[in-house]
Chain A
Amino acid sequence: MTAVYKHRLFWPIVSLLTLIAINAIARPQFITITMRDGELYGALITILRDSAPLMLVALGMTIVIATRGIDLSVGAIMAVSGAVALTIIDGSGDPDALATVLIAVLVAVLVALILGMWNGFLVTVLGIQPIVATLVLMLAGRGAALLITGGKITTVNSAPFKWMSSGYMVALPVAFFIAVAAIIVIGVIERRTALGVLTEAVGINPEASRLAGVRSRGIIWGAYMVSGALAGVAGLIYASRTSAADANNAGVFIELYAILAVVLGGTSLNGGKFSIAGTVVGVFIIQTLDSTVLFLGIPSAQSPVFFGFVVAVVVVLQSPRMRSGLANLSGRLRPRGAGVQDREKAEVA
């Protein structure tokens, strides 16, 4: 029992379940899932579908944060990736051709990967602080996206492209499968190879890792490339949902929500030990919250206030001080050794 209580994912999961429970009580239809034409529908399914872009971005962010870095440019990379894909599709003769869409997707992800490489270059080769290095692209990226689309919002009508965000496979949304695939790929790369442990070593103590022969530069650089590529895919899903390349609105603030998801999942911003499962739970917390805000009918202008409030509560619950406070509380209910009593009748000269 204590093992369960002490597990690092205990509080994130409790938070998520609490949120779902509150929603379910307030509106029982929240947890109902219906089957229509072999496709599942319901609020929970929508959460699974809509969380995909944030999931991808947050996974990349987890790896970058584990190296003691941060990637603020993910939202801008999303905008660039959407712009690249839609410009290619728009410019082709046949937007509905699968080949066209495939090429567009590959080129967009490749561009995103190169942008991640640029971030990695600034951080590892030039030694610029991650927050500053990625700020460059965060600011410049959207401008670049506008350049690509020629300053307008490119819209396309392409069924295969639309499928990414609204299609279904085996009764579940395609976007969900993309997210699951990313979780599995990242999980396998990090935990079935030595990359995870080496990434943590670099994040905890870069100099000691270098002296131990760890290729710190490659590992950190790789993390930014992964983050860039995943943001690229996220940008595609976003663009697919709206069928438009909207450089000003694609992935706005997503870097902050991704950081929040990572933190909610129990990974420290100081780098080192990271938890992919934690990030997954963190993303679902944020997405469920988003859905709650919508349901409560809170005007969009005020929704950030509500959001901030709930997040503050969750973060406070997870803080070390609160945790040890709760642990003490449960300890006090049980009889213990003389030490505790001594401390209680403590008198200081």
Chain B
Amino acid sequence: MLEVTGATVRFGADAALRDVDFRLFPGEVHSLMGENGAGKSTLIKAITGALALDEGVLVLAGETVTFRDPHAAQAAGIGTVYQEIELLPNLSVAENICLGREPRRGGVISARAMNTRAHEILLDLGLDLDPASTLGTHSLAVQQLVAIARAISADVRVLVLDEPTSSLDLDEVAELFRIIRELKTRGVAILFVSHFLDQVYEICDRVTVLRDGELVGEYLTRELLRIDLVQKMLGRGASELKSRDRLADDEPDAAVVLRARGVSSARGITEADVDLGEGEVLGVAGLLGSGRTSLARALTGVNRLESGVIRIESRPVRLDSPRRAMSLGVVYSSEDRRRDGIVAELSVLDNITLALQSERGVLRQIPAARRRELAASWVEALDIRPPDLDRPAGTLSGGNQQKVLLARLLALSPRVLVLDEPTRGIDVGAKVEIQNLVGELADNGMSVVFISAELEEVLRVGDRVAVVRDGRVVRIAAAVELTADSLLALVAQPDEDEE
């Protein structure tokens, strides 16, 4: 259906993509895998017309094509759904689906025809949704499906899904996969990009692996062992997590640094009791909306407490703002990097030094040379790439943005580090680096709260695991006593009373 040969894209002197071949057959789901900077997004942009190839040929259904812009690619039958949903929440579902190609009668948009058309497309996908309802009132997952409906509403031959599952929960992913399979039977060629290996193995027929802008190879998913895939992506022996001695008790043995009792906040968490020992990693498991984020925000002064007491080294404290929490050594990294984390247009340098500077106060500016030195040392320590301090932070990849955020917080030398999904939407390599870093920090005496949607990750990283469900901490247990299955049962089943 689609074939790319010898694709090369240069940005100035650097080639983001060098001589890459890629094939996509009708009726298959094909995954593009690689670390950050491997050239995945560059290749996708070249296919969807967002970027022009410097060398190489794009053949669509036997014809050589060149796309001037994404619109041309769309007209040729290539539909794209991006990671960040690019729809208009204030318009109706139907308007979003038909945007730009509204059915007209006598030059005037016919709302009725549009709703009928949208309804058909949605039903086709097995979605019974009122096309006249406002998009913004639906969940992220439904919005994601509407984005797909929009992409396939034109005659689509190739569908590109870039990280479509990053904001979906398990049920919603299943729903998405059902639709992907349905499209597959219709002969649509699907390019599916995801960081979740499980999902890649569940849905994809073949994978193409890229590394540093070059093609590593194309494989049938069922013939490629997971460990081999990771190894090919990383280009080294699959990096093992550094093992560290872990505490095996239900209660922290070490001195308790932070003790929360009966903590409730207006949004999402009720009567939570949490102890955090020195040098301990407390993993937090729970579904989206279970209260895991509310817990983190309640502990770090982001959301105010309605009731409950937080003690730091047995002294009761009032954490009424992130600033106050910071001054007590408690820092928070949000799950939503782009909205609550990075200041996109400021440089990496300014982003890293932001919290330290505001802690020192407006008037005591950190001297320029000291600032650079400090930021450069963090860039090196966390291997932030590209190592360019003056680059706007928003132009870095997700994993590197996360590292910039970590650097910002670590520059404060905190005692308690609360990380809300620090590994979401970043590649395997950066993920392992961040997990290792958390381990090292804990070994050096820092206490860490580590929230993740991936249960295995919570088990690997945490000494103990707190399970959050329906706004309550329902269980805290040593990680070694749990398995992925038993943890899943705790996270998922509201009827099984574990308390």
Contacts and interface: CB of A to CB of B under 8 A. Distances in A.
A104 B68 CA distance: 65
A211 B66 contact: no
A192 B354 CA distance: 16
A194 B362 contact: yes
Interface string B345-364: 11000100011011111111
A338 B344 CA distance: 33
Interface string A182-226: 000000000011110110110011011111111100010000000
Interface string A57-87: 0000000000000000000000000000000
B53 interface: yes
Nearest to A340: B52
B76 A201 contact: no
Interface in B296-341: 302, 321-323, 326-327, 332, 334, 339-341
B129 interface: no
A272 interface: yes
A349 B302 CA distance: 53
Interface string A266-296: 0000001100000000000000000000000
A208 B339 contact: yes
A46 to B, nearest CB: 38
A115 B343 CA distance: 31
Contact of A213 (B63, B67, B359): B359
B365 interface: yes
A195 B361 CA distance: 9
A52 B67 CA distance: 53
Interface in A123-147: none
A211 B302 contact: yes
Nearest to A210: B322
B350 A208 contact: no
A208 B332 contact: no
B482 interface: no
B76 A194 contact: no
Contacts of A219: 362
A210 B76 CA distance: 45
Interface residues of B, number: 45
A197 B326 CA distance: 20
B55 interface: yes
A348 interface: yes
A213 B322 contact: yes
A273 B345 contact: yes
B63 to A, nearest CB: 5
A4 interface: no
Contact of B345 (A209, A272, A343, A349): A272
A193 B364 CA distance: 7
A197 B53 contact: no
A197 B357 contact: yes
A343 B344 contact: no
Contacts of B75: 348
A281 to B, nearest CB: 21
B365 A348 contact: no
Given A195-B362, A213-B359, A214-B354, A342 B343 contact: no
A170 interface: no
Contact of A201 (B67, B334, B343): B343
Contact of A198 (B326, B334, B357, B364): B357
A37 interface: no
Contacts of B344: 204-205
B366 interface: yes
Nearest to B65: A349
A209 B339 CA distance: 10
B408 interface: yes
B189 to A, nearest CB: 15
Nearest to B67: A348
A344 to B, nearest CB: 9
A275 to B, nearest CB: 13
22 contacts: A192-B365, A193-B365, A194-B361, A194-B362, A194-B364, A195-B362, A197-B357, A200-B350, A201-B343, A205-B342, A205-B344, A208-B340, A209-B358, A210-B322, A211-B302, A213-B359, A215-B362, A273-B345, A337-B10, A339-B52, A346-B66, A346-B67
Interface of B: 10, 52-55, 60-61, 63, 65-68, 72, 75-76, 302, 321-323, 326-327, 332, 334, 339-346, 350, 354-355, 357-366, 408
Q: Which 6 A-B pairs have the closest CB atoms?
A: A213-B323, A214-B358, A348-B72, A194-B365, A212-B355, A346-B66
Given A201-B343, A201-B346, 16 more contacts: A194-B366, A198-B357, A200-B346, A204-B346, A205-B342, A205-B344, A211-B334, A213-B355, A213-B358, A214-B355, A215-B323, A337-B54, A343-B52, A346-B72, A348-B72, A349-B76
